[in-house]
Structures are given as structure tokens and as C-alpha cells.
Chains A and B, each alone.
Chain A
């Protein structure tokens, strides 16, 4: 069964450093997402990406964050100048179609720890 893969599984970084989280969405999917889950809390939407541009972003996704699809397979989330409160699980997801009625497949997540 096709799956969304994320690397690394765990990333520890110093406060103020930049991190890049990587995702390989399912190959025939067109829409890509990043979500965040702070420990013990709900999953929160960060950003959606389609046709090489951001289609929607939440208020969490400020200038500190950026996304990119550098080639035909990878989808990355960059966090500049990390803060302690950025510590969370970050999930990548993809789906074939947008909006209503289609399943979003989630990766296993990257646990980001900012120290």
C-alpha cells in the first residue's frame, strides 16, 4: 500500500537554528499538507500546497515557516530560527483531490525537539 514517508523521525535542534523536515508524498497525489501536533494536543493544520504554490495557510504558519517542493518527489517544511514552542510532532499528508470528500494520508511524523 502506498504511504507518505517522513524523515527524520526525530530531530533535535538548538533554539535559533534552522531545520528542514522532509516528506515524500504518495506519488500520484496532487495536494500536500503540513500539520503540527504539540504533545497531548490536537492536530493543527499549518499549510496546504498545490501546483507549486501555497493554497491555504493557518495563522500558525507565519514568516518563520516556508514550504517547498524542490523536485518531483520531495515536499519540505523549513522552520527558520526555531523557538522552544516549535517543539512538536510535524505530520505531512497528501491527497489526490482537494477539498471535499477525499482521504488525506498522513505520514508517521517527525518529532522536533528544540532545546
Chain B
């Protein structure tokens, strides 16, 4: 089955700086890669996703890049703000298998 690795487990950045979280996946059949933000005591909330037919997608301060050859994808957050502090999960899905495979999560801490 699919295996998703996520790094780093904790990331601390100064407010206003950029943050980058990286994930790799194992199954070349995966072709949908969502990123979820989870705040304390809440369920995961989708913040951005990318499909395998594109290499990059951007939504305001958030961007995701995908390298299918290397089987890795990354989340980029620019101009970080205190409200960006949360745990971020990457995930991948294999066609025909409906369950998302999640990475272990990155605890993003924005230092004021």
C-alpha cells in the first residue's frame, strides 16, 4: 500500500518568514495530494490540494509543488502569521482505494 513520509515533525519560524513542509510518497499510482491543517481539538481541514497533472498550485500565501518523478510534494506558506500555527498533514490517495494515506504531521510554530 501507499506510504507517505513527512518532514519535519516540528517547524518553528519567525512571523513573516516562509515555511516549507515536505512529503514523499511511495506509490506512483497516487495522483491526488491534499494538505490538511488541524487546529487543537478540531478535525482536519483542507487548505490546498494538487492533482498529478499539474506541478504547482497557489492560493494566496499557500502553494503546493509536486514532483512526480521524484514522488515528492511540498507545502509552502509565505508571510507566516500567528494563526498559521497548527499541525499540517500531507496525504495521498491511490486510484480505486478510497482511503487517504496521511503523513505523520508537522507541528508549525510561528514565533512572534
Convert B20-64 into 0s and 1s, putting 1 for each residue whose CB lies closer than 8 angstroms to a CB of A: 000000000001101010000111111001010000000000000
Q: How far is the CB of B85 from chain A (nearest CB, A)?
A: 17
Q: Does B112 contact A (CB under 8 A)?
A: no
- Are B102 and A44 within 8 A (Cβ)? yes
Contact between B105 and A56, CB atoms less than 8 A apart: no
B residues less than 8 Å from A98 (CB atoms): 98
Residues in chain A near residue B98, CB distance under 8 A: 31, 33, 48, 50, 55-56, 98-99
Residue interface bits B69-112, CB-to-A below 8 A is 1, else 0: 00000000000000000000101010111111111110000000
- Known: A42-B89, A45-B100. Is A91-B43 also a contact (CB below 8 A)? yes
Chain A to chain B contacts (Cβ below 8 Å), 19 pairs: A42-B105, A43-B89, A43-B102, A44-B102, A45-B101, A45-B102, A48-B98, A48-B99, A55-B98, A91-B44, A98-B98, A99-B32, A99-B95, A100-B95, A102-B32, A103-B46, A104-B34, A104-B46, A106-B36
A25 in the interface, Cβ–Cβ < 8 Å? no
Interface residues on A, range: 20 to 34
Which B residues are CB-close (under 8 A) to A91? 43-44
Q: Which 3 A-B pairs have the closest CB atoms?
A: A45-B99, A106-B43, A48-B98
Instruction: Kindly list chain B residues whose C-beta atoms are within 8 Å of the C-beta of A55.
Output: 98
